[in-house]
Amino acid sequence: AQSVTQPDIHITVSEGASLELRCNYSYGATPYLFWYVQSPGQGLQLLLKYFSGDTLVQGIKGFEAEFKRSQSSFNLRKPSVHWSDAAEYFCAVGATSGTYKYIFGTGTRLKVLA
């Protein structure tokens, strides 16, 4: 069965520090992989996505993610966090055919200390 695991429910980092949010997935084949950010009471904004090709994906707002097939992971990174990055981050797996359904991880809430 398809699943997405985000092991860290909460993460707190200082402004300017580096960030890594973990995401592990279970899927029968190579899925489409996504990272979204959600501010309180808001919808989701796509940070980046991986469909195929280069396993290091660059996204908006200085974020990047690396697809590691051997580890079934798609961790999100940012070298220097800004206070405005405080939000909820969701990793998602999308089917590559058929219904195109998404499965979301449980989310990681990021807190940034000034």
Partner 1 sequence: GAVVSQHPSWVICKSGTSVKIECRSLDFQATTMFWYRQFPKQSLMLMATSNEGSKATYEQGVEKDKFLINHASLTLSTLTVTSAHPEDSSFYICSAHRDAYGYTFGSGTRLTVV
Q: Which residues bind partner 1 (CB under 8 A)?
A: 32, 34, 36, 41-46, 49, 90, 94, 99-107, 109
For partner 1, the closer CB: 18 or 42 = 42
The CB-of-63 to partner 1 minimum distance in angstroms stands at 17
Structure token pair of residue 21 = 């949010």
Q: How far is CA 90 from the centre of its chain?
A: 5
The CB-of-36 to partner 1 minimum distance in angstroms stands at 7
Question: Largest alpha-carbon pair distance within the chain?
Answer: 45
